[in-house]
């Protein structure tokens, strides 16, 4: 069987995505006792900081009987200019899977092209598919299904927003994106998914949030965009998720945030810590979906 990668949500069919989420739920319930990673190693390359991604993959690999190696790109030869394609081939001779978090999505695609073991995208400037798996599981826990649900994305058309578009297109739920004109989602990803499901792009958070089942946002500047923070703060004025915005949503709506959050910038303390917030379940769900993903690709 050829190796499979997970670089983007559409790398899996809708049926495969739902099966993966079902497996994650089974793992979370404690009913799953298998150790499909026994004797196996995941190499984790990080060119950016991480708490949730690193810990979920590392703990998850251990719980599945395997092992994870933390490789900061500052410390491995990749950071001194060893080509990605060489790194891919060398690691493939020693490990059973590679997770990578970096800046350019093209670098992850190159790694996957040259690696002979599965490659997992742990976040690029373009996409953050592993986070979306956790978010989808959190929605299913809250509502029992994704069917008929509406997700409102408020803020930057960033890696999370692009991955929400992919998820909506793959799984057929409605997505509304409220973003400033200067910070839209990736045009190709938007076009592809708007052809598959109901997608609204608006400048008005109040329009996006109206009746939504999920309201979600993220920081205004990605890791690596800190230099643009001031200019972005100006553009994102009016894109704050506060209690007034949550009141426009469905009465049972939940609030999601991939974290880390900047309280008072993209979301208020009251919403983040409030009764509709599911952010801690969402963070925990990173562990369960990452385990399901490793079991599926490397088991
Ligand atoms: N949400 C997320 O990916 O968190 P980390 O940056 O801590 O991995
Ligand atoms: N979307 C943000 C946060 C992800 C953890 C980023 O890419 O920096």
pLDDT in tens, 80-113: 999 999 999 999 999 999 999 999 999 999 999 9
Q: What is the pLDDT of residue 69?
A: 98
- Dihedral sign of CA atoms 204, 146, 55, 74 in order: negative
The whole-number average pLDDT for the span 104-128 is 98
Distance 51 CA to ligand 1 centre (A): 5
CA gap 76, 86 in Å, rounded? 12
Counting residues of the chain whose pLDDT is more than 70, the rounded percentage is 100
Nearest atom in ligand 2 to the alpha carbon of residue 123 is 7
Give the mutation target among 48, 52, 218, 272 for probing the ligand 1 site: most ligand atoms within 8 A of CB.
52
Q: What is the pLDDT of residue 214?
A: 99
pLDDT, averaged across the chain: 98
Q: What is the pLDDT of residue 270?
A: 98
Residue 139 corresponds to which tokens in the numbers above?
């929605």
Q: What is the pLDDT of residue 7?
A: 99
pLDDT in tens, 22-77: 999 999 999 999 999 999 999 999 999 999 999 999 999 999 999 999 999 999 99
- pTM for this prediction: 0.98
Give yes or no for residue 179 having a pLDDT over 90: yes
Q: What is the pLDDT of residue 1?
A: 81
Give yes or no for residue 299 having a pLDDT over 90: yes
CA distances from 227 to 67, 85, 134, 162, 224 (A): 36, 30, 29, 22, 8
Give yes or no for residue 238 having a pLDDT over 90: yes
User: Which residues have a catalytic role annotated?
Assistant: 101, 128, 131, 218, 258, 286
Alpha-carbon torsion, ordered 233, 230, 45, 190, to 10 deg: 40
């Amino acid at each position: 069987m050829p190796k499979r990668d997970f670089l983007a949500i559409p790398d899996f069919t809708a049926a495969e995505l739902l099966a993966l989420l079902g497996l994650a739920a089974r793992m979370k319930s404690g009913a799953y006792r298998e150790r499909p990673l026994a004797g196996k190693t995941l190499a984790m390359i990080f060119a950016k900081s991480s708490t949730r991604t690193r810990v979920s993959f590392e703990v998850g690999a251990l719980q599945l009987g395997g092992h994870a190696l933390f490789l900061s790109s500052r410390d491995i030869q990749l950071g001194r200019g060893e080509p990605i394609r060489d790194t891919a081939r060398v690691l493939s001779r020693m490990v059973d899977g590679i997770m990578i978090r970096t800046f350019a999505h093209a670098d992850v695609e190159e790694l996957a092209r040259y690696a002979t073991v599965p490659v997992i995208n742990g976040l690029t400037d373009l996409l953050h598919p592993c986070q979306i798996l956790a978010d989808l599981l959190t929605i299913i826990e809250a509502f029992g299904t994704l069917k008929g649900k509406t997700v409102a994305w408020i803020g930057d058309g960033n890696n999370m927003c692009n991955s929400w578009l992919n998820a909506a297109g793959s799984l057929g739920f409605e997505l509304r994106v409220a973003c400033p004109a200067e910070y839209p989602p990736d045009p190709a990803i938007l076009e592809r998914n708007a052809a598959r499901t109901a997608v609204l792009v608006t400048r008005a958070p109040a329009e996006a949030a109206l009746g939504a089942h999920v309201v979600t946002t993220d920081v205004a500047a990605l890791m690596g965009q800190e230099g643009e923070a001031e200019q972005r703060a100006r553009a994102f004025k009016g894109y704050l998720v506060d209690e007034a915005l949550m009141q426009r949503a469905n009465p049972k709506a939940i609030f999601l945030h991939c974290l880390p959050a900047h309280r008072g910038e993209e979301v208020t303390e009251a919403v983040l810590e409030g009764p509709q917030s599911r952010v801690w379940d969402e963070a925990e769900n990173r562990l369960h979906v990452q385990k399901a993903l490793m079991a599926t690709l490397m088991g």
